[in-house]
Amino acid sequence: MNRTLKQHLAAYLAIFAIAAAPFTAFAQTRIERPKNKYKVSDDVKLGNDNAQKVEQQFPILNDREATRYVAEVGERLVAAIPPQFREPSFDYSFKIVNASDINAFALPGGPMFVNRGMIEAAKNEGEMAGVMAHEISHVALRHATAQATKQGSVGNQLGVIGLILGGAILGGEAGAQLGALGAAAWMTKYSREYETQADTLGAQIMAQAGYDPRDLANMFRTIQAQSKGSGPEWLSSHPDPGNRYEKISREAQMLEIGPDHSNMREFRRVRERLRALPPARTMAEIEKGAKEGQTGANPTAGGTYTRTVAGPARSTSNYSGIVDVRVPSNWKAFESGDTVQFAPEGAYGNSGITRGAMIGMMRGSGDLSRDAQAYVNQVLDANSYLQQRSRFSNTYLGDYRGYMTTLSGRSPITQMTEIATVYVAYDDNNNFVYMVTVVPSSESSRYTAAFNRMLSTLRTNR
């Protein structure tokens, strides 16, 4: 075959390939990043700095299994970001916020926070992935610094965390409600243009990752259903859910969906695992805690651990807060929201307490056995060195009949075998009340009287 014929044939085959390719590959909406005067490194620094603030203000769910699953879905979506929007310096990460609202938000540079309520509300993995793809799109398109470019100053605008939280799928409820963090209402939402871009790119990322973009559209039907048929007020400055549904559905028709890699069995297992936990607080309740100075940070941070710790004093003092309880007079109280920890000097620090007790309460689901195991699972997830050593047995926490179980393991702080005994009960108002005592096994006899006194004197105040 001569050279000219080969060239003609190659050209013909190229034309044929273009003609034979699915029309959808060329019909999808073209997206361009908005004008942005800030460096990519500004996004990264902004996200890293504010991720720390978020983890202080929000209750992060320490559930390794659920977090691992959400991260796997997130990594699949990140891998599907179009090449022109990828930034090597962006570090996408995924954590679950223990909040009941259907919401999620992402910070510049990649840190993403997914509400437990969103996962519980999703009907399938695709709906959850759709919310995450929307948030990833805000990051990939650098919408936070682009919006700051419009408004004039990254220092004045993006230093306020409420602006960034405005990327939430539901139009920024988290940012709007967390006024205690310094956000003004008008700063808590991305523009209509940016929300539409995030919807469109999110749909394209979903299709590339093997998810049907219609699942993202369906999440807005869920929003409407939970709002009794009308869009929530905080969606007023965002595209109406009905319009968004139509736009995303039209975009889906133009996209070729890749091979399906979703794992519905794993999604259902994780969703049920989260639904079995004690009910999460709403964002409004979290905001109230923030205004009262309560944060997600460990209140014992800043203490210094010592090798030897004084035993419990025989004299006691009365603590009155979420509960009334008698505690050794040489123990300090560390309050945080609906939890209080008690520990002597040398037994508390950045990683919690090595000797002492923690008492807390939350809304009960109505099933004490389920709440008890769910709470123990949370303790185990947050303290991987511990293992449950016994089944639940009947006991009393104050005057409230409940259950107890024992956990133990080698403490990474003291390097000694630690015993953590968990007591749980419902009070007279059906609040789920828990008390966890902590002590090295070699010192347990010194603490028996103090722990028993706490158990017998505990009364709730709500």
Stronger pLDDT, 199 or 159, i.e. the higher one: 199
Weakest-pLDDT range from 147-161, 292-306, 368-382: 147-161
pLDDT, tens digit, for every residue of 43-101? 898 888 788 777 777 888 888 899 999 999 999 999 999 999 999 999 999 999 998 88
So what's the pLDDT on residue 82? 97
pLDDT, tens digit, for every residue of 4-47? 434 443 333 333 232 333 333 446 899 999 998 889 998 898 88
So what's the pLDDT on residue 164? 39
Answer whether residue 275 shows pLDDT above 60: yes
3-state secondary structure the chain: CCHHHHHHHHHHHHHHHHHHCCCHHHHCCCCCCCCCCCCHHHHHHHHHHHHHHHHHHCCECCCHHHHHHHHHHHHHHHCCCCHHHCCCCCCCEEEEECECCCCEEECCCCEEEEEHHHHHHCCCHHHHHHHHHHHHHHHHCCHHHHHHHHHCCHHHHCCCHHHHHCCCCCCCHHHHHCHHHCCCHHHCCCCHHHHHHHHHHHHHHHHHHCCCCHHHHHHHHHHHHHCCCCCCHHHCCCCCHHHHHHHHHHHHHCCCCCCCCCCHHHHHHHHHHHHCCCCCECHHHHHHHHHCCCCCCCCCCCCCCCCCCCCCCCCEEEEECCEEEEEECCEEEEEECCEEEEEECCCEECCEECCEEEEEEEECCCCHHHHHHHHHHHHHHHCCCCEECCCCEEEEECCEEEEEEEEEEECCCCCCEEEEEEEEEECCCCEEEEEEEEEEHHHHHHHHHHHHHHHHHCEECC
Answer whether residue 354 shows pLDDT above 60: yes
Domain boundaries, the chain: 22-275, 298-460
Topology of domain 298-460 in CATH is Protein Transport Mog1p; Chain A (3.40.1000)
So what's the pLDDT on residue 163? 39
